């Protein structure tokens, strides 16, 4: 049996990185995926202009260490990315004693399907950045 998920969508925010007490780099992403909206009969719903209406779902993505570093360095809000990983469910008790549940995708691989950040502030050109990309 395997727990594998593949998502392709756009980043809803710039990646956020933090470091744990054990010096593990954790980078979080918000990934939006869309699918056609359906009416009560299961047919694709069209808006007033005749375009297919979309429903967007948001996914929490977590990247660790080297993958997190690459993502935080090159990914930006709006980029189209592919994420391969596994679904992880967690359960915790908040400060008020209420049990909470969460779901996230632990990323094994992130592929950039559109351009990353423009030239870095340090004077690097886009071609310098492109040379460092893993693809």
Whether pTM exceeds 0.95: no
> What is residue 117's predicted lDDT score, i.e. its pLDDT?
62
Q: Which CATH architecture has domain 5-118?
A: Beta Barrel (2.40)
> What is residue 45's predicted lDDT score, i.e. its pLDDT?
86
Q: Place 83 in a pLDDT band, splitting at 50, 70 and 90.
A: very high
Sketch the domain layout of the chain as residue ranges.
Answer: 5-118
Whether the per-residue pLDDT at 39 is higher than 50: the answer is yes
Three-state DSSP string of the chain: CCCCEEEEEEECCCCEEEECCCCCEEEEEEEEEEEECECCCCCECECCCCCECEEEEEEEEEEEHHHHHHHHHHCCCCCEEEEEEEEEEEEEECCCCCEEEEEEEEEEEEEECCCCCCCCCCCCCHHHHHHHCCC
């Amino acid at each position: 049996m395997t727990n594998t998920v593949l998502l392709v969508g756009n980043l809803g925010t710039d990646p956020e990185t933090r470091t744990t007490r054990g010096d593990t780099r954790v980078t979080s992403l918000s990934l939006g995926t869309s699918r056609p909206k359906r009416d009560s009969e299961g047919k694709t719903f069209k808006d007033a202009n005749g375009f297919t209406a979309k429903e967007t779902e948001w996914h929490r993505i977590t990247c660790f260490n080297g993958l997190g570093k690459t993502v935080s360095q090159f990914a930006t809000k709006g980029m189209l990315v592919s994420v391969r990983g596994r679904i992880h469910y967690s359960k915790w008790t908040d400060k008020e004693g209420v049990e909470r549940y969460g779901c996230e995708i632990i990323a094994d691989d992130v592929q950039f399907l559109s351009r990353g950040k423009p030239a870095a502030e340090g004077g690097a050109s886009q071609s310098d950045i492109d040379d460092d990309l893993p693809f």
